[in-house]
Amino acid sequence: MAKDVIILAIESSCDETAAAVVKNGRDVLSNVISSQIDLHTLYGGVVPEIASRKHMEQINQVIEQALDKANVTFDDITAIAVTYGPGLVGALLVGVACAKSLAYALKKPLIGVHHIEGHISANYIENADLEPPFVCLVVSGGHTHLVNVKDYGEYEILGRTRDDAAGEAFDKVARAVGLGYPGGPKIDKLAKEGNPNAIEFPRAKIDGSVYDFSFSGLKSAVLNYINSCEMKNIEINKADLVASFQSSVVESLVTRAMMAVKEMNTDKIAIAGGVASNTAFRDAMLKACKENNVKFYRPSAIYCTDNAAMIGAAAYYDYINGKRSGLDLNAVPNLKLGEK
Ligand code: KG4
Ligand code: ZN
């Protein structure tokens, strides 16, 4: 029987310091996340320098906890994996430097992982039957990518946002309505009390790729609506407003995802990233997939937002395919998917 591959994975690309121990790509032995959200809430968004400093403070204890919870020691670890981009450079550097030191001191292989590849791979954790090829819609705070997952580690980007990422639009609208940071979960909750058809917001029309997204027009329409209500002294129904905004985002995501799955001739679609935990989006995808006889995969909410278990899942397939990083691995803040 082949020996188990046990990966210690580290993630520090934005505002979560995370470490996880993952066995054979799909079995999460531990998943520790130290969130900095409370610190950044004070400023209405992530402050890069605060993020780096906090990662520096937290990283060693987060790793220690991950090993403890998994009931393993460094000796049991096969390889060290780390997110090396995209993300905030100072934040990434903390994880990368830490992973390199561990790999060097312990004489273990080092595997640099693309953050988006991690988000996609979060789907492997709870779905033993999911294997490429499939289509994945990655919707996070920094990215909106429609990806054709051809094989493990082999990706074709079908469409992306031309301006704001979906999560960014959620965060900006939430801030305008006074809900605070991070906006996604707050809008998700408030929208349940509102009418999604109350306000007709524009659906983006984009020249060029049919799979591309655009959310800045929608965001401006929401801001204009708020301004014009304030000027006319009309009280805004916040629940209706955010429900209508959310429904416009969800519609544009679901339509393109279903178009892609048909065109790619697959019957499997997955979603990933922080926005993939949005309940209206999950419900709408589930409905569309049922109607079209498509198998729908989505990670539990804890694996949608940033975590290190997804990095360990992605790294496993790199490991068995012989991919390794050198000790000269550096943080690449604007790393493109598919570039190694
Ligand atoms: O994947 P993630 O944790 O970090 C990035 O890689 O960006 O995504 C964070 C984003 C934030 O913009 C947050 O507002 C959004 O995901 N988000 C949500 C929900 N939970 C998190 N957006 C909509 N509904 C949610 N329930
Ligand atoms: Zn992320």
DSSP character string of 64-86:
HHHHHHHT--GGG--EEEEEEES
Model confidence at 339, in pLDDT bands (50, 70, 90)?
low
CA distance 103 to 109: 6
Residue 144 · residue 133 · CB < 8 Å: no
The packing angle between helices 48-70 and 89-106, to 10°, is 40
Mean pLDDT of 39-67: 92
pLDDT tens digit string along 136-157?
Answer: 999 999 999 999 999 999 999 9
CA distance 160 to 213: 6
Q: What are phi and psi of 178, to 5 degrees?
A: 85, 25
Model confidence at 206, in pLDDT bands (50, 70, 90)?
confident
Q: Is the pLDDT of residue 340 over 60?
A: no
Task: Please give the pLDDT value at position 38.
Answer: 84
Q: Is the pLDDT of residue 182 over 90?
A: no
Q: Is 130 helix (H, G, I), strand (E, B) or coil?
A: coil
Mean pLDDT of 212-223: 95
Q: How far is the CA of 142 from the centre of ligand 1 (A)?
A: 9
Amino acid (one-letter) located at 18: A
Pick from 218, 203, 196, 209: nearest CA to 252: 203
CA distance 111 to 5: 13
Task: Please give the pLDDT value at position 1.
Answer: 66
Pairing of strands 6-11, 16-23: antiparallel
Q: What is the DSSP letter of 274?
A: G
**Ligand 1 residue neighbourhood (C-beta within 6 Å):** 14, 140-142, 167, 170-171, 182-185, 188, 273-275, 277-278, 305-306
Task: Please give the pLDDT value at position 37.
Answer: 84
CA distance 118 to 308: 8
CA distance 240 to 195: 5
pLDDT tens digit string along 250-292?
Answer: 999 999 999 999 999 899 999 999 999 999 999 999 999 999 9
Choose the residue to mutate in 37, 139, 140 for probing ligand 1, maximizing ligand atoms within 8 Å of C-beta. Answer: 140
11-25, 207-221, 273-287: which has the minimum mean pLDDT?
207-221
Nearest ligand, measured from the Cα of 15: 1
Q: What are phi and psi of 32, to 5 degrees?
A: -105, 130
Q: How far is the CA of 274 from the centre of ligand 2 (A)?
A: 7
Q: How far is CA 331 from CA 37, 72, 91, 120, 336, in A?
A: 23, 28, 9, 20, 12
CA distance 176 to 227: 10
Nearest ligand, measured from the Cα of 144: 1
Model confidence at 61, in pLDDT bands (50, 70, 90)?
very high
DSSP character string of 28-69:
EEEEEEEE-HHHHHTTTS--HHHHHHHHHHHHHHHHHHHHHH
Model confidence at 180, in pLDDT bands (50, 70, 90)?
confident
pLDDT tens digit string along 220-254?
Answer: 999 999 999 999 999 999 999 999 999 999 999 99
Q: How far is the CA of 290 from the centre of ligand 2 (A)?
A: 27
Amino acid (one-letter) located at 30: S
Mean pLDDT of 287-315: 98
Which helix (H) or strand (E) segment holds residue 310: the answer is: helix 309-320
CB atoms within 10 A of CB 37: 13
Which helix (H) or strand (E) segment holds residue 94: the answer is: helix 89-106
Amino acid (one-letter) located at 120: I
